[in-house]
């Protein structure tokens, strides 16, 4: 991971955990203006896309929510692969 960008909102409240993770990944944290759509719109759209993908996968095959983590992984990998084609 090259870097971590957040709008300073309350989504990432465990600052210690985030700082430790970024340090272990040798990544940096960058703050943007709080609650400005231009700064966070891309991430919010991506989250919306991933959530829709997860819900469709779990619902389509009638899996329980215990498979949520697997569905997240598949959705993110699929979305990343589609963006690089």
Q: pLDDT digit string (tens) for 11-67? A: 655 666 667 777 777 776 666 666 666 666 777 788 888 899 888 888 888 888 888
Cβ 75 vs Cβ 54: under 8 Å: yes
DSSP helix/strand/coil, 31: strand
Q: Check whether 3 has a pLDDT greater than 80.
A: no
Give kind and range of the element (H or E) at residue 50.
Answer: helix 37-60
pLDDT of 43: 74
Kindly state the DSSP code that residue 67 receives in the 8-state scheme: G
Report the C-alpha gap between 49 and 76 in whole angstroms: 10
Supply the pTM of this predicted model.
Answer: 0.51
pLDDT of 56: 87
Domain range list for the chain: 1-33, 36-85
The packing angle between helices 68-83 and 37-60, to 10°, is 120
């Amino acid at each position: 991971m090259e870097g971590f960008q957040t709008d300073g909102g309350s989504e990432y409240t465990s600052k210690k955990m985030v700082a430790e993770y970024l340090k272990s990944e040798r990544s940096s944290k960058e703050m943007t203006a709080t609650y400005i759509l231009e700064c966070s719109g891309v991430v919010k759209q991506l989250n919306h896309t991933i959530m829709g993908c997860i819900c469709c996968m779990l619902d389509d095959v009638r899996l329980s929510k215990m498979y949520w983590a697997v569905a997240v992984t598949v959705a993110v990998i699929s979305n990343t692969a589609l963006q690089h084609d």
